[in-house]
Chain A
Amino acid sequence: MAPSAIDPSTQASDPQISAPPPQLYTPRELHFERYLASQPDGYRQARSRGPERAAIVIDNGSSETRAGWSFENAPRLNITPIFSKYRDRKIGKAFSFVGADVYADTTAKGHMRNAFEAGSGIVSNWDVMESILDYVFIKLGINGSNGGIDMPIVMTEAVANLPYSRKSMTEIVFECYSAPSLAYGIDSLFSYDYNNGKTGLVVSSSHSSTHLIPVLNSKALLTQATRLNWGGSQSAEYLLKLIRLKYPTFPGKLNSSQMEYMIRDHCYLSRDYDQELSTYLDWTGLEDRDHVIQFPYTEEVIIQKSEEELARIAEKRKESGRRLQEQAAKMRLEKLIRKEQELDYYRDLQSKISNESKKESKRLLDAEDMKDEAALERTIKELDRSIRKARTKDVGGPEIEEEVEEPDFSLLEVPDEQLDEAGIKQKRHQRLMKSNHEARARAKAEKEKEKARVAEEQRADEEKRENDLEGWLQERRNARADLVQKVKDRERLKADLGNRKSLASQNRMKSIANLASDNPTKKRRRGNDDDNFGANDDDWGVYRQIATGEGSDDEEEEDLGASLKTLEADLLKYDPDFTDQHTLDAQTDWTKSLVHAFLRGPRPFDPGSQAEAHQLHLNVERIRVPEVIFQPSIAGLDQAGIVEIAADILTHRLNGIAPQQDFLRDIFLTGGNSLFSSFDERLREGLRAQLPAEMEIKTRRAKDPVLDAWKGAAKWAGGAKWKAAAVSKEEYFEKGAEYMKEHDLGNAYS
């Protein structure tokens, strides 16, 4: 058995009752914060320093565009590289928004576009990129008094950026913004440089990808660089996929921005993934490992009525009931009076008839639609009885026992020849009555017998239990096992019917086809044209067989459940080995369920609760998602993990270039996705297993893994290396858009 929440030793009968309510986390997502005013002071300062000693530094990352002045120590702007443009038809006006401003308006949100190709650091939408640059220059307060951007620009780009991509950017910077000069560099190398790195292995895990770049004497060995196509954005998409699969009917809205925050807030890199994973859904400590994200919801409002109101409503109901009763009583009374009048009338008629001649009486009877005097007699009797009944009911007098007189069967003995036509009719009627009467008596007797049989059975059962408890229990146990098997079989059948190709489904389809066809195949084969369908009761079972879905087998299911319950109750009562834990209910209880622990954490789930329906439980995902960078195959990425890449670079690809040890002494982590707390430790331990034991491995993190790229670029922008690497406007116009100058921190021409 795999380790899981099913471990009984860690579990009392109901441990969760004492569990405190879970700590709820609210989901966070990118949102509009506030209007950012233009900041012309930086530009003024830059102007006073002159373009030799000031530059606009733009860290053009796929998660954020960070822009600021080279002489300052932090970027002024952090913009998500998104853009939205739409036209409000009502007022005939176009709107453009950049960055988080897009989230201020729902229409704008709908038109959102990203500058970068999804999951890569390559700009693919240049209209968006231009708008972002517009925004940057507006907010930096550039007034364009000299007709363009009169400050040099330093920009970061992806490792091995595509020539087309670089060319387009260069074109924009020089043609559209008329910048005096432009220099490109690689973000992670700027970060390394800023942290005083000289020789080492730069591991940069960022939003769209992870790069490993060996650096020798401050010069990047780009030919040995390696990219793993996994970063923060892919992690977010992966988590989104997992959550959607985990909660397919989740009512809240999920997006990848929320996932990014969830990864940041709740996920962590496991120090020993397989070991931690094996006990992750165990009962002990699941409260701490299971993080609950509560999405906004609206509670269904149940209006609580006050005592007074309830009383009033009850009174009202009673009142209307009384009124109805009164009405009914009145109607009954009227009916009674009418009936009494009728009765009087018929009595009167009867007495009149008895005095009249036969012919006259016949005439009177015909006028009343009566056949003969007997009929009149019957009518009177009936009326009398109903009146008496009604009266007792109304007045509440003693219930008069309905006299069940043995009907008159006198005519049955008389042969037909001796009877006239009316007599024969009467006889037929009596025969019918008699068979009716006898059938009723038979049914009564049978009922009695059945009762006696049940009582006898119970008695025998009890006797058996007293005499042979073990045998009796065994019988029960077997019966219970049979029932459980039956329930399981039914479940399996139901599941099989869901599958079109299963044997059960095919049999069902066969039956349907057979029923629908005019000449059923079976009958014809036997050469018997007589369709005696239905003669055998089992024939009708075919309809139960073909019915699926809602309500097809509810009755029987109830029945099985009920008999299982009684059996289990018996066993509980008499079998010392059979405890609460053994009942089917307890065994299928949520506390035993791994799936429950996975989906709903260590607490019971109330399907009716809106709050719980809007909860996400993060447990295994918390370590599963960050782990992908070490084992990309988890997310189906067919690339080597970060440790394997690093080991390959260090042991094979750098052979003969420089001593391994130099690189190992400085393994440098940067980028937002490397912020997981045990990232460095995992990398170090992973490499330790792949390298000779005497090698010294040192890892270190950037001071600020997110901002150091910008800071490094800003620092570099003032120096001599920058002056040598920047391409001026004149050079651009002379040598073309693809002209570039290689330098230590930038890409090489390819």
Chain B
Amino acid sequence: MSRPSQSGTPQTVAQAGAMAAAAPQAAAAAAPATKKRRRPHLHVVVFLAPAVLIYTAVMIFPLFNTLRLALYTRIDQERVWAGLANFQTLFFDPIWSEQFWNALGNNFWFFLVHMLVQNPIGIALAALLSHPRLRFAALYRSAIFIPTILSFVIVGFAWKLILSPIWGIAPSMLDAVGLKSLFAPWLGKEEYALTTLALISVWQFVGIPMMLIYAALLSIPEEVLEAGEIDGITGFAAFWKIKLPLILPSIGIISILTFVGNFNAFDLIYASQGALAGPDFSTDILGTFMYRTFFGFQLQLGDPHMGSAIASAMFAIILVGVCIYLFGIQTRMRRYQL
């Protein structure tokens, strides 16, 4: 396989989404020159049909149907048009809005912890790993990536056990370094639980920014670094002044991936704290809130229409985030031709 020469060719899978916006111009420009434009033949239809049908039927149609369902409500087993009443309830009815804003706020905090902890650690690990002549790099890389492949259920329970005051691994380890007084049942305290879960999620997913940044760092040509060395820029300075600006596009992609992933998160909270996102909803995020609402829990019956309204809100948030990234950040970011 040849190396892509133009900067428009995606470097990572993750960039795929980002590239979608740039694709039309490129494709439109390339099309008339290289390929013959003709009417679809039967075999083209046969090639496309299964993918387009499944994708449309199971992904796109339900997505819009969910947005539509948010505009209805159920009265006596009948589905009736409700306009924006569900959203009005969600945003302004005290019972609902309190939960919604709580979940949204928690979700933002969850995202912030990832941005402030996961991505810097990922970048630092990648910087270490990409060092030339570092031995065992492949071994470290594979080992650090292991948590990322585990399911949320395993991660959630494993940490729940380790942090449990009953088992006492965490307190006795803190005791060993003389910090026992710092121990608290972190997952059981309202003020710490969400941050603890966010850090567990960071622990699990640090491998992804690490790998993507690592790939970006490897693609920096040696000549650029050597030119810096001649000018006396080495070590840390080389990282800050040469490498970091060059990997900014990858950092942008990681940020948007983190954003979409976090505002769609559910599994970790559900696996470790249950659908009620305890203690006292302090770890409730949009995913768990939507699950509870539409599926029901304990004595409350599920309400698919309110669930759809929450899903629509999540859709809007993700859409706004992706648009900010695509039009506000990605297009303005300076890309260097390497």
Real binding pair = no
A contacts, CB < 8 Å to B: none
